[in-house]
């Protein structure tokens, strides 16, 4: 059956940007003189949410200011490459008449950069960024907002994520099929978070939509 909508994460799902994001975090911790924690805790989440909720050397500092420092250090001279199948996935959904939304923990500036690299954002119906919701992933607010704005029923939709936080957010929003891509985390981590299927990239998802 044709899904009611396709909801796609951005970093690590559509574009191979996790190495760039991690370079920004490493530069941030080095500049602060703090020992870098397991950077996996930031994958799929807004930096300010992690700084607010998780214990670390950053306790007592302004989470929003720290997040701004991280974003300023993420390399932007080389745009992130598209994950294999990413463009085909979006175009297959469009051809099938399935509305497409990007649901990301990134801000508008990074979304614009990544969108230029991907080259198909003009075919996307909706983009939900970090600034559109009060609560970031793993909270379901982003996916719920996307479904509401697209006017679609969550149980009939497909969500694609590369992080456990993103998978949990999609599951909590009631998305019917949550797919994990293993660009950033393992099959075991994604399935433990609730992914019903896992793939190495987006080519199998594009095939599902044709």
The residues annotated as belonging to the active site are: 9, 11
Cβ burial of 151 (10 Å; 0-12, 13-18, 19+) is exposed
Distance CA 164, CA 50 (A): 14
As a whole number of angstroms, the distance between CA 79 and CA 165 comes to 24
Selection from 56, 46, 30, 41 nearest residue 184 by Cα = 41
| Secondary structure string (H, E, C) spanning 40-108 | HHHCCCCHHHHHHHCCCCCCCCCHHHHHHHHHHHCCCCCCCCECCCHHHHHHHHHHCCCCEEEECCCCH
Q: Which residue has the tokens 């080259």?
A: 119
Angle at alpha carbon of residue 73, lines to 72 and 77, rounded to 5°: 95
Of the candidates 2, 3, 8, the residue with the CA atom closest to the CA atom of residue 125: 8
Residue 17: both structure tokens together: 């940007």
């Amino acid at each position: 059956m044709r899904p009611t909508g396709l909801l796609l994460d951005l970093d690590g799902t559509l574009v191979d940007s996790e190495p760039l994001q991690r370079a920004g975090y490493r530069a941030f911790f080095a500049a602060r003189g703090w020992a870098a924690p397991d950077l996996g805790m930031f994958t799929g989440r807004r930096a300010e949410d992690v700084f607010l909720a998780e214990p670390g050397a950053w306790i007592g500092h302004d989470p929003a200011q720290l997040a701004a420092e991280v974003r300023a250090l993420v390399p932007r001279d080389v745009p992130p490459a598209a994950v294999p199948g990413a463009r085909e996935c979006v175009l297959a959904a469009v051809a099938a008449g399935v509305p497409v939304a990007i649901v990301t923990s990134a801000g508008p500036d990074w979304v614009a950069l990544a969108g230029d690299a991907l080259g198909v954002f003009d075919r996307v119906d909706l983009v939900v960024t970090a600034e559109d919701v009060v609560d970031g992933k793993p909270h379901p607010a982003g996916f719920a907002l996307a479904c509401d704005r697209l006017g679609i029923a969550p149980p009939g939709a497909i969500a694609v994520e590369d992080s456990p936080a993103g998978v949990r957010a999609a599951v909590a929003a009631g998305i019917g099929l949550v797919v994990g891509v293993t660009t950033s985390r393992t099959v075991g981590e994604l399935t433990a978070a609730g992914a019903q299927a896992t793939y190495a990239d987006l080519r199998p998802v594009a095939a599902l939509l044709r």
